[in-house]
Amino acid sequence: MPTPTTSKSVCVFCGSRSGDDLAFTADAHAMGAGIAAKGWRLVYGAGDVGLMGTVARAAQEAGGDTFGVIPQHLVDWEVGKTDLTRYIVTETMHERKKVMFMNCDALVVLPGGAGSLDELFEVLTWRQLGLHKKPIYIVNTNGYWDLLRQLMNHVAARGFADESLLDFLTWVPDAGAALAGIQDTLDA
């Protein structure tokens, strides 16, 4: 079992629901376990439901360091996971995203809904504005994010973003590919 460490941290954005494909849960489990196995810290939204709960439990089961951030108004709704290594309750959603972002070296987006998209677009916008250079990985489990990728290409093609925006996102088919890519990026 790896020794918890905070040398590197990976922020995972994902659903507070599990979705309709068992592969989503499998990738969430693989991501949490993989982060722990590499000795990295998991940073996430502190929920104990859906893919959020899966990624956190997998990291914990593998002996990983976990850092959860949740706004007060979601503590009951997302069932705040209080048995994390570090559990922070914020006042607002914006503060939650800021704390998560400031405490990570790389970002991963697993399948999710509007909240995951909100988190992705905020960090992508910050990257576009030159506010950070952290890698952003989109885990496209069973093609879940295919339409998002089409939308991003459409936005650039129609002149509402520079083509360079597309280079800020690394699209991978599964958690294993994301973990390998992050390893290469963090080691560089």
- Residue pLDDT tens, the chain, 188 long: 344 445 899 999 999 999 999 999 999 999 999 999 999 999 999 999 999 999 999 999 999 999 999 999 998 776 889 999 999 999 999 999 999 999 999 999 999 999 999 999 999 999 999 999 999 999 999 999 999 999 999 999 999 999 999 999 999 999 999 999 999 998 87
CB hemisphere CA count around 144 (13 angstroms):
26
Tell me the two tokens of residue 149.
């990728």
Give the pLDDT score at 185: 93
Give the pLDDT score at 163: 95
Enter the pTM of the model. 0.94
Q: For the chain, which domains are there?
A: 9-187 (3.40.50.450)
Give the pairing of strands 86-90 and 65-71: parallel
CB 54 within 8 A of CB 16: no
> Which contiguous run of DSSP H or E holds residue 153?
helix 146-157
In which residue are the tokens 């705040």 written? 80
Give the pLDDT score at 77: 75
Give the pLDDT score at 187: 84
- All residues at 6 or more sequence positions from 78 whose CB lies less than 8 Å from its CB, including other chains: 16, 45, 46, 47, 48, 49, 52, 70
